[in-house]
C-alpha cells in the first residue's frame, strides 16, 4: 500500500475489505485494514471519507469473533456496583475491630477498584471528548477482564490527542486506585502487611505498564495516537 492515498483509493480499499468481511474473512490485519487506518489518520480529509465504512467494518469483524457482548449501560452499572463494593471494603477496613478482617478488606478494596474503575474511566473521558461506545465484552489473558468497545467511526472523527487521553484514562485510573485505598490505611485497624500488599499491587501494575502495556495495550495506543498528533505539526 502506498504511503499516501486519495479519497477514491481509500473508498475502494474499504469496499474491498468490507466485501471480504461480509464473505467471512474477519482478519482485519491480514486484509490491510489497520495499515489503511494508520494512513487515514494522518489526513483529516480522508478521515471523513473513511469513518462510516471503517466503523461498519470494525463492528462486523468484532461481532464475528466476540460472542459475549453486553450493553454499555449494563457494563457501567455492574462496574459501578463494583466501585461501591470496593468502597464498602474500605469502610470495613476503617471500622473493623479485627486487624485480620481490616487487612483483608483493605487488600480486597485495592483489587476491586483497580478492575472496576478501568473501563468506566475510558467511557467517561471518551464520551466527554465526543466518542461513542458499542458494548462491553470480556477480553484479555486469563482471567478475562471487562473491556469496552469503541464505536470506531466516532473514534476516528475524534482528535488524535483526545484519542490518546481516552486510552490513557483507564490505565491511569487503574494505577491510582491502589494508592487511593492506601490513603485510608492510617485510620484503619489493618496491619502493616496489608498496606505493603496494597502498595505492591500498585507497584506491580506500574511495572506491568512500563514493560508490557507500552507494547500491547493502553499505553501502546497512547503512543500511537500521540505520534499521529505530532504528524500534524
Query: For 64-104, what is each residue's pLDDT tens digit?
Result: 989 889 999 999 999 999 999 999 999 999 999 999 999 99
Indicate if 107 and 53 belong to the same structural domain.
no
Task: Specify whether 23 is located in the same domain as 75.
Answer: no
Query: Domain check: are 43 and 110 in the same one?
Result: no
Residue 43 domain boundaries: 7-65
Shared domain for 93 and 181, answered yes or no, is yes
Quick one: average pLDDT of 189-216? 91
pLDDT tens-digit profile of 118-154?
999 999 999 999 999 999 998 765 556 789 999 999 9
Inside any domain, residue 102: yes
129: three-class secondary structure by DSSP:
coil
On whether residue 2 sits in a domain, the answer given is no
Residue found under cell 491480514: 30
C-alpha cell at 86: 470496593
Quote the number of domains for the chain: 2
Q: Is residue 45 part of a domain?
A: yes
Q: What pLDDT was estimated at residue 142?
A: 52
Together in a domain, 196 and 128: yes
Can you give the pLDDT at residue 212?
77
- Choose the final residue of a domain: 65, 84, 103: 65
Say if residue 133 is in the same domain as residue 214. Answer: yes
Among 54-63, 103-112, 184-193, 208-217, name the one with the lowest average pLDDT: 208-217
Contact 131, 169 (CB under 8 A): no
Question: Which has more pLDDT, 173 or 211?
Answer: 173
- Is residue 17 in some structural domain? yes
Clarify whether residues 160 and 226 are in a common domain.
Answer: yes
Q: Which residues pair with 137 in a beta bridge?
A: 69, 147
Q: Residue 1: inside a domain, yes or no?
A: no
Percent of residues, the chain, with pLDDT higher than 70: 96
| 143 shares its domain with 44 | no
Q: What are phi and psi of 161, to 5 degrees?
A: -65, -35
Specify burial of residue 224 (Cβ count, 10 A radius: 0-12, 13-18, 19+).
middle
121's enclosing H/E stretch is helix 118-128
Compute and round to an integer the Cα radius of gyration of the chain: 21
Helix (H, G, I), strand (E, B) or coil at 104: helix
Cell of 63: 461481532
Residues 61 and 138 in one domain: no
Q: How many helices (H) and strands (E) does the chain have?
A: 12, 3
What is the percent of the chain where pLDDT is above 90?
A: 86
Residue whose grid cell is 482485519? 28
The partner residues of 147 in beta bridges, in order of sequence, read: 137
C-alpha cell belonging to residue 129: 471528548
Cα distance between residue 224 and residue 183, in whole Å: 34
The answer to whether residues 55 and 150 belong to one domain is: no
- The three three-digit cell numbers of residue 208, written as one number: 506491568
In a domain, 221, yes or no: yes
In a domain, 173, yes or no: yes
| Same domain flag for 49 and 86 | no
pLDDT at 3: 63
Question: What is the C-alpha to C-alpha distance for residues 175 and 202, in angstroms, rounded to an integer?
Answer: 6
Amino acid at each position: 500500500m502506498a504511503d499516501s492515498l486519495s479519497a477514491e483509493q481509500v473508498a475502494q480499499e474499504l469496499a474491498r475489505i468490507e466485501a471480504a468481511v461480509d464473505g467471512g474473512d474477519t482478519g482485519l490485519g491480514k486484509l490491510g485494514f489497520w495499515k489503511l487506518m494508520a494512513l487515514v489518520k494522518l489526513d483529516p480529509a480522508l478521515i471523513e471519507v473513511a469513518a462510516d465504512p471503517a466503523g461498519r467494518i470494525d463492528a462486523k469483524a468484532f461481532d464475528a469473533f466476540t460472542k459475549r457482548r453486553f450493553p454499555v449501560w449494563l457494563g457501567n452499572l455492574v462496574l459501578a456496583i463494583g466501585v461501591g463494593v470496593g468502597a464498602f471494603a474500605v469502610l470495613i477496613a476503617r471500622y473493623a475491630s479485627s486487624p485480620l478482617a481490616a487487612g483483608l478488606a483493605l487488600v480486597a478494596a485495592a483489587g476491586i477498584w483497580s478492575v472496576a474503575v478501568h473501563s468506566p474511566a475510558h467511557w467517561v473521558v471518551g464520551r466527554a471528548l465526543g466518542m461513542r461506545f458499542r458494548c462491553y465484552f470480556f477480553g484479555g489473558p486469563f482471567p478475562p477482564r471487562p473491556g469496552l468497545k469503541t464505536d470506531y467511526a466516532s473514534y476516528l472523527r475524534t482528535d488524535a490527542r483526545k484519542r490518546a487521553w481516552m486510552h490513557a484514562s483507564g490505565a491511569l485510573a487503574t494505577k491510582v486506585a491502589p494508592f487511593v485505598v492506601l490513603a485510608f490505611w492510617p485510620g484503619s485497624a489493618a496491619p502493616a502487611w496489608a498496606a505493603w500488599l496494597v502498595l505492591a499491587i500498585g507497584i506491580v501494575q506500574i511495572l506491568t505498564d512500563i514493560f508490557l502495556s507500552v507494547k500491547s495495550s493502553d499505553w501502546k495506543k497512547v503512543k500511537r495516537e500521540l505520534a499521529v498528533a505530532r504528524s500534524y505539526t
